[in-house]
Structure 1
Amino acid sequence: MSTEQPNNPLHGLKLETILTQLVEHYGWDELSLMIDINCFKNDPSIKSSLKFLRRTPWARSKVEQLYLSTFC
């Protein structure tokens, strides 16, 4: 059984894809200014940021909102 989400622009996108596109577009420095979280400031990496974002719903929400306002 497949559940369609036609009104969700993030449906089918992995968090890693979202974060990678934001980093390519803005870079870590600008991203850390836009979303004030330490994993974007101190020795940033996709892997460490994904670990933090998966455990922190408010931070993930901010990243998803920035992605939507940038690319959608």
Structure 2
Amino acid sequence: MEKQQSKDPLHGITLKTILEKLVDHYGFDTLGEIVNIKCFNENPSIKSSLTFLRKTEWARKKVEELYLNTQSKFKN
């Protein structure tokens, strides 16, 4: 039997990894301008942002969409 490959481009990528790559690429200041949410604009940290994004689906979707649109620009 062949294994099914997931069609989800985010399959196997944790929210923490997504956030860390975005912060490395943009910094919290620019990230807060692109995705205007409080956890990026007021005392930002990876930990507090993860907590918020895990509880808030609309914000997580925006961050995931930004990640997918920016992925080709990341340094490996």
* TM-score for the superposition, normalised by structure 1: 0.92
CA-atom RMSD in angstroms? 1.3
In structure 1, the partner of 2:28 is: 28
> Gaps spanning 5+ residues in structure 1: where?
none
C-alpha change, 1:4 and 1:43, in structure 2 (3 Å) is: same
| CA distance in structure 1 between the partners assigned to 2:24 and 2:35 by the alignment | 15
Q: How many residues align?
A: 70
The structure number with the bigger radius of gyration is 2
| CA distance in structure 1 between the partners assigned to 2:14 and 2:4 by the alignment | 17
In structure 1, the partner of 2:55 is: 55
In structure 2, the partner of 1:64 is: 64
Compute the displacement of 1:53 (Å). Answer: 0.2
C-alpha change, 1:3 and 1:28, in structure 2 (3 Å) is: same
* TM-score for the superposition, normalised by structure 2: 0.87
- Identity, % of aligned pairs? 56
Compute the displacement of 1:3 (Å). Answer: 6.3
Runs of 4+ aligned structure 1 residues displaced above 3 Å come to: none
AA matched with 1:63: V
| CA distance in structure 2 between the partners assigned to 1:52 and 1:68 by the alignment | 20
